Structure 1
């Protein structure tokens, strides 16, 4: 099940403050000079002051202003670096999976909210953001752009999403390669269960796209806290596995743990930063892991 309207709560918006999308090349240089938008630290052109927050670099504080006002302020600057961020969202049938404890909230619901949050971060920084939705054996998308209208275009597509079908074959992925340019950043949102989705991520990384991945899991996949007789069904293939939940638990953890370890090793080898998000966790957790400044994650 997928809700009709996506919104970010005021509490979530507050927790997103201080997060910055920065490419790896900028992180390697301490975040200097690789971002068009307001960033912390020194930059090419002064933009504004803001109140000091724990974790800010002392060198960013305007000490002369502190001497006059007895309050700590940090200088923010406009940085010239055109960053284009692409959201690559898995909308195949398995993304419709929900937890028993929260039947109205699916993997796709979490992915849509995370996509909206990332889009707002990028737009707030003055960066370009695009959206590609992969599912139902095809690729749909919104071209990269900036500003509030771009957010509204993406919101319109996200609101109408339904999880269905399978990940398309490589012959139908041409729109991905046509739109995502070299040195663009790609954020993959999905369960990463389909090997084809991981194949695409690693190919993009090998072709000079910086790829980040957020894997979305249900509480049941993390805890497998099932009791009594069950029917486990693959939503994409229809394959059914009947059995007793408690009896299947040990075998599930062994196989699932091995698969997760192999996935992590493959993403690491490809240079893909990745984080796992379970549906009962705060939505800002994976974003903080990827985008918070060091020491504040």
Structure 2
């Protein structure tokens, strides 16, 4: 491939049993691995109907004609490709990493997770696109299919930088024009910006199928700090001096409550949600999000 490869070999090997699928998959014309409600020549038999002028002769069921002396055409469910979007948060807080994995930030994890989704879509013959939202506003790679589209998306991922704030709603207008009803949208973010959560809710309300994957650091999960520390907000620059040990219990309780509130809020909009911690295997959160049943996603 000509583009960069963000997927470690062991993770790539484990992707083979994962599948992108939407509950409201609409699909387009073409062949993929998702059943569509449109009728025509396909792979799965749907029904018979009476022959009409203009129908292809190869669609006539000649055995049924021999029994009934009437022409009937076999109709099938078309297999239609899914259109999947990956939305990557590129605001300043996505640059954060931690000591559990030096040199590995939220944005690095988002790049790799996005690459995994593109690989799944490529294997399934689906269409996929990329949207990056951050200090530069909105950057788009419109949906397409095939290896060249995969490489375009990977090259765009390579150029992303985490900086700035979540842009104004008007800057996201092209995203609304591109993402159609029935499209599958995976949002990769730390979900710390209210604008990110509102985007997920608005897309879901507009009949887009939304998956939300929150990217967290191991230090946010464990708060392993001891002694005096200076904590700095990556986006506002605000700093707080605190003793790590004395602040730990309060931080973990508040952080857990915030995560529960976010999960409940997203669930109320029908949005599937899970979290990925930077020291976790990349395919683990994808398995939870893409599992067929709620029990498997737990």
What's the TM-score, normalizing by structure 2? 0.80
Residue 293 of structure 1 deviates from its aligned partner by 4.5
Q: Is this contact kept in 1: 2:34–2:82, CA < 8 A?
A: no
Aligned residues: 257
Residue 38 of structure 1 deviates from its aligned partner by 4.1
Residue 155 of structure 2 is matched in structure 1 by 156
Seen in structure 2, the aligned counterparts of structure 1 residues 262 and 292 have a Cα distance that, compared at 3 Å, is: closer
1:150 & 1:132 partners in 2: Cα distance? 14
Residue 174 of structure 1 is matched in structure 2 by 173
1:279 & 1:14 partners in 2: Cα distance? 20
Q: Is this contact kept in 2: 1:37–1:127, CA < 8 A?
A: yes
Residue 162 of structure 1 deviates from its aligned partner by 1.1
1:35 & 1:216 partners in 2: Cα distance? 34
What's the TM-score, normalizing by structure 1? 0.80
Residue 97 of structure 1 is matched in structure 2 by 96
Residue 127 of structure 1 is matched in structure 2 by 126
Is 1:267 the counterpart of 2:262? The answer is no
Residue 227 of structure 1 is matched in structure 2 by 226
1:1-297 matches, cutoff 5 A: 6-25=5-24, 36-38=31-33, 44-45=42-43, 80-293=79-292
Residue 45 of structure 1 deviates from its aligned partner by 2.1
Seen in structure 2, the aligned counterparts of structure 1 residues 241 and 122 have a Cα distance that, compared at 3 Å, is: same
Larger radius of gyration: 2
Seen in structure 2, the aligned counterparts of structure 1 residues 22 and 36 have a Cα distance that, compared at 3 Å, is: farther
1:223 & 1:106 partners in 2: Cα distance? 17
User: CA offsets per residue over residues 154-176 of structure 1, 9 Å max, x none?
Assistant: 01111111111111111211121
2:133 & 2:84 partners in 1: Cα distance? 16
Residue 177 of structure 1 deviates from its aligned partner by 0.6
Seen in structure 2, the aligned counterparts of structure 1 residues 5 and 256 have a Cα distance that, compared at 3 Å, is: same
Q: Secondary structure at the match of 2:234?
A: coil
Q: Is this contact kept in 2: 1:137–1:169, CA < 8 A?
A: no
User: CA offsets per residue over residues 98-130 of structure 1, 9 Å max, x none?
Assistant: 011222000000000000000110111111100
Structure 2 gap segments, 5+ residues each:
36-40, 45-76
Residue 53 of structure 1 is matched in structure 2 by none
Residue 255 of structure 1 deviates from its aligned partner by 1.5
Residue 37 of structure 1 deviates from its aligned partner by 2.1
User: CA offsets per residue over residues 76-116 of structure 1, 9 Å max, x none?
Assistant: xx961232111011011100000112220000000000000
Structure 1 gap segments, 5+ residues each:
27-33, 47-77
User: CA offsets per residue over residues 29-81 of structure 1, 9 Å max, x none?
Assistant: xxxxx9942479xx9528xxxxxxxxxxxxxxxxxxxxxxxxxxxxxxx9612
1:149 & 1:229 partners in 2: Cα distance? 51
Seen in structure 2, the aligned counterparts of structure 1 residues 288 and 86 have a Cα distance that, compared at 3 Å, is: same
2:42 & 2:11 partners in 1: Cα distance? 31
Q: Is this contact kept in 2: 1:217–1:279, CA < 8 A?
A: yes
Q: Secondary structure at the match of 2:160?
A: coil
